Amino acid sequence: MKKFKGFDFHRRRFIGLATIIFAFVAIGHALRLVFGWELVIGGVVMPQMVSVFAVAFLAMMVIMGRYYYFVE
C-alpha cells in the first residue's frame, strides 16, 4: 500500500469519505430541525431532540475527521 506522509493512504481516503458522509447526515438533521420534518422509523415518530443530539455528535465527528484527514 502507498504511504502518504507516514499515514496510510487508504485510511486517509476512508476518513475523508466518512467525514463527507457525516457532514451530509448532519446537514439533513439540521434541516429537519429548521423545517420541522418528521422522522419515522419502524412506525415510531422520532422526537426533534434526537436530531439535536445527532447534529452535535455528527458535527464533532466532522471536526475530528477533518483534523485527522489533514494531520501531518
Higher pLDDT, 7 or 20: 20
Check pLDDT > 80 for residue 6: no
Nearest Cα to Cα of residue 32 among 16, 13, 49, 20: 49
| Residues facing residue 8 across a β-bridge | 3
Nearest Cα to Cα of residue 50 among 35, 29, 36: 29
How do residues 11-61 score in pLDDT, each as one tens digit? 888 889 999 999 999 999 999 999 999 999 999 999 999 999 999 999 999
What's residue 40's pLDDT?
94
What's residue 13's pLDDT?
86
Provide the pLDDT confidence category of residue 68 given band limits of 50, 70 and 90: confident
